[in-house]
Every structure is written in C-alpha cells, then in structure tokens.
Structure 1
Amino acid sequence: MWSAHVPTRGGIDFSFLQVEHTTPFVLKLETYLRMAEVPYQVDFEEPLGPKGKSPWISLNGEEIGDSQLIMEMLGPKYGKDFSSHLSTEQLAIARAMRIMIEDHFLWCLAVWRFDVDAGKAFLNSIEAPYILRFVIALFRRRIVGASRVQGLGRHSHEEVMEMGRKDLKALSLCLGEKPFLMGDKPTEVDCALFGFLAQVVWNSAGSPYLQMLETECINLQAYCHRIKERFWPDWGQCLNPPQSQIIQ
C-alpha cells in the first residue's frame, strides 16, 4: 500500500454533475490507478510534492512527482502496459495527442478559466468558502502571469479560444467513432485526455470549449462519460471524502 498525495476532491457544475478533481493531472493519475487496479491510499493533507507539483506519490519511502513520470514508473513495477498492442506509429500518435492536450490545450483552458471568466465558473463548481475565494483570486493572478511567460497568454482572448477549439477538433477527429482514442481498449493516453475533458464537461460552465463538445465534438463528450462510467462507478461518493481514503 502506498499514498497518492492530491488536493481535496470536490465540485459541482451547473447541471449538478460532479467532478472529482479540479486539477486535470490529479484526475489523470487516479484514473490510471483505477485502470491498473493498484490499491492506494489518497492523502489530502500534503497536496504539493518534492517538485512543488500535484499529484505526487510516496512509495517505500521514496517521493515521486509528475503524473506522467509516476505512471511510467508504476507500469513496469506492477506489470501494467495498456499500450503494448499498439504499433510504433500508434504510440507516436498517442504521445502527440497527449502533449497537445497537456502542454497546449492546458493553457487555452487556463486562459479561459482564470482570465476570460475570471475564475467565476471554477469557484462556483467547487462551492468555495469566502477565504478560499480570496486565495483563488491570488492564484488567478499567478496563472494569468504564467500564461504570459509561457507565451500563449500574450495573444488576444479570441485567438486563444480559437487555438483551444482547434485542439479539441483535432482530438475529436482522431477519436472518430472509436470507444477509446487508440481503439477498442483504453490505454494510458485515455487517462490524460479524460483528466482534461472532465474539466470541460463538468467544470467549465459557459466556456466555448463546453459549447463545442455539445455541438461539433459530441463524440468527445460521450467519450468522457464512457471513461467515467467505466473507472469511476463511485464518482458521486468521492465528493468530500474523509481525509484519508483507501481504494481497493
């Protein structure tokens, strides 16, 4: 048994559907752990790890940060490789889609969430108390500043939203009518994509990205629900859990 350290779960969107984590990388990792059927204990008391990031894990006294590095370490350790049947070309496509979402769409979503929308939908989705709203306001300024340093935040809001829509359209075309991105079976990349799409579906009310999933890219919304139903049967029960929770 080992510990996964994450921020507190929770959140309700305007349709009263729940999102387990407001951080896509945390949702990515926990979805992977459920896919791999590895028992773990969730710790909400120390959300930031050795790299100042979340999530991170403690395993046999070793502290490991970054969701992707954690997954790449745990796979061989527990004999879990959900992509072993893929060709080298398919592996390249999966990597390209993941990086597009994690390293580009991430900022498109952040600009909408914390700059365009000023964090309003985000705060409503987690039903934040007043003191947390003050902290989020400070965090919002930090994210907006980081987006300018990264570069994407220097574009107009309209330009950034269009970039994000193009990312979602590319992902939608790649998914097509398949149940999962790479075919009939879920693979590691689906965990990453679910982490972000869940933020759009259940935590971004009023965003142009949610509108796109409800009109042009309905296959992405169905895909998101499919993963939720398969790996999160206790989705609603996970809101506001005890400070320590063991997943078998």
Structure 2
Amino acid sequence: MITLYSYPGLFGVADNNGYGLKVFAFLKLTGLPFRQEHIVDASAAPRGQLPYIVDGGDTVGDSDVIISHLTRRYGLTIDAGLTPAQRDIGHLVTRMLDDLYWVMSYSRWKDERFWPAFRDALRHEHPDLTDEQLRTARDFNAQRYYYQGIGRYAPDEAYARGIADLRVLAHLVPASGFLFGENPTSFDAAIYGFLANIHFYDIETPLKAFVAGHADLVRHCTTLHGLIGRDGEIASPA
C-alpha cells in the first residue's frame, strides 16, 4: 500500500501544508488506497522536503513528481479528458500556487501578528510538538524566506503578492463544477490544497479575508472538502 508522509493536519484539513494536502486530495479523488503518516522531520525525505510517498520499492518526493508517478504506475485517468490548452493552463496555475505558497507560509511563521495564534493552534492540536521543534522550524523558515525573497517584503507587500495570485484563481474558478468541467482533475486537487489551508485556517489573515469574499473560491474549496474530508488512513476505491 502507498504511504504518504506529510505534515500534521490543522483546522480540520489533513495536512497544514498546501503540497501535502494536494497529494492527499489527489489520492482521495483517484481512489487509490493509501496510509497517511504525519511527520515534522523531513530529513529522511527526498530533497529534505515533504510530502513524499513510499510506493512499494519506490520513494518519491515533490508533489508534481508524485502525481506523475502515480498516474503512470496505476494508469489513472483523472486528467485523461483534458485538452493540451487546459493542461497548459493547469501548469500555469500550478506555478502560481508555488508563488502563493510563500505568502501563506510567511503569514504563519514570519508575521508577528499571526505567529502566536498559529503556534498555539499547533500546540493545541499536536501537543507532542516541542518548543525546540517549533523554534527550529521558525528559524529555518526565516532563512528560507530571506533567500527566496518574500522575507525581505513588508507584510502588506507580501500579502498584496498573494492576493494577486488569489484574484487570478477567483477569475478562473467557475461558479459551478470544477476548473475544467463537471469532474475534478489533479489541478483541482492542487487548488484545494492551498485554498483549504486558507479558507479553513482559523486565523484572520488578509489571505483568508480575500477568499471569504469570493463565493466561487469558497464553493470550490468546500465542495472538494466534502468529497475528500480529513480521514487519510484508507481511501475507498472509486
């Protein structure tokens, strides 16, 4: 059976990181049986990053690589009906979500207005997390933000960047159905991974306020959440 290694859940979602939740959603939507193990130490992961999966003798990291691996190995058809143009749009959305990730992470670990509430929420839901682990994670993220660039932004500038990404999503996500029609694709799983970690996030950041003000984003997120849920022990076959 496939094992998904990803960060702990928070606020009712199966992973408090957009990339891990993206893979979780993909597995659920495709009906592949899997186990989910929540970890915080990524030192054993490919490239030292979560999520990753162990699938038989293969260990695969990076959410996009994981999805490609699973699609090939199991002959998954979730994206089979997409046109080349739709795949191109999906690729662009995926890259935009990569940009949004940094702003989301900044709002949790960097912004002093929201860090205490995030820290306390993690401690409440995962009491086994130690002060040292949280301090190490925060220091590590501060270094990443600086070298990536978002750490050199003032908070309002950082959120303006993330809201610009969300505004594009608000234009693309339809009032009914999913990104490319009546059935969800891997790109909907990717969008859910990030929107759910904003919409269900119980801390009032500027990103959350923007999503709350856009009914199509909320509908897309909650519809997929209803299909996916939080239980990651076994996904029922489709």
User: TM-score of the superposition, structure 2-length normalised?
Assistant: 0.88
Q: Which residue of 1 aligns with 2:101?
A: 106
Once the two structures are TM-superposed, the CA of residue 214 in structure 1 deviates from its matched residue by 1.6
8 Å CA contact 1:113, 1:122 repeated in 2: yes
Q: Secondary structure at the match of 2:48?
A: coil
Equivalent runs, 1:169-180 vs 2, <5 Å:
169-180=167-178
- SS of the equivalent of 1:99 reads helix
The separation in 2 between residues aligned to 1:76 and 1:62, in whole angstroms, is 13
**Residue-by-residue CA offset, 1:31-60 (whole Å, 9 max, x unaligned):** 111111111222346863232111111122
**Aligned-partner Cα distance in 2 for 1:206–1:21:** 19
Opposite residue 30 of structure 1, the aligned amino acid is F
2:54 aligned counterpart, secondary structure: strand
Provide the aligned C-alpha RMSD in A. Answer: 2.1
Q: Which residue identity is paired with 1:157?
A: P
Note if 1:11 corresponds to 2:10. yes
CA distance in 2, matches of 1:212, 1:84: 33
Q: Aligned equivalents of 1:57 and 1:130: distance in 2?
A: 23
Secondary structure in 2 matching 1:4: strand
Match of 1:15 in 2: none
For residues 85-164 of structure 1, the aligned pairs below 5 Å read: 85-101=81-97, 103-116=98-111, 117=113, 119-126=115-122, 127=124, 128-129=126-127, 132-164=130-162
Question: Using the alignment, how far apart are the partners of 1:97 and 1:2 within structure 2?
Answer: 27
Q: Aligned with 1:203: secondary structure?
A: coil
Distance 1:130-1:47 versus aligned 2 partners, 3 A rule: closer
Q: Give the residue type in structure 1 aligned to 2:153.
A: H
SS at match of 2:16: coil
Unaligned runs of at least 5 residues, structure 1: 13-17
1-structure distance, mates of 2:154, 2:7: 31
Partner of 2:164: 166
Q: Structure 1 residues 197-206 or 118-127, which shifts more?
A: 118-127
Give the direction of change, closer, same or farther, for the CA distance of 1:46–1:155 in structure 2 (3 Å limit): closer
Is the CA contact 2:13–2:196 (under 8 Å) kept in the aligned structure 1? yes
Structure 1 residue identity aligned to 2:21: L
Give the secondary structure class of the aligned counterpart of 1:54: coil
Q: 2:212 aligns with which of 214, 234, 246?
A: 214
For the 8 Å contact 2:14–2:24, the answer to whether it is kept is: no
Q: State the alpha-carbon separation in 2 of the partners of residues 185 and 47 from structure 1.
A: 35
Tell me which moved more, 63-72 or 45-54.
45-54
Q: Secondary structure at the match of 2:211?
A: helix
CA contact (8 A) 1:201 1:221 kept: yes
CA distance in 2, matches of 1:173, 1:45: 35
How far did 1:195 drift? 0.8
Distance (Å, rounded) in 2 between the aligned partners of 1:131 and 1:86: 42
- Name 1:2's counterpart in structure 2: 2
* Contact 2:201 2:208 (8 Å CA) reproduced: no
**What's the counterpart of residue 227 of structure 1?**
224
In the TM superposition, what is the alpha-carbon distance from 1:100 to its structure 2 partner? 0.2
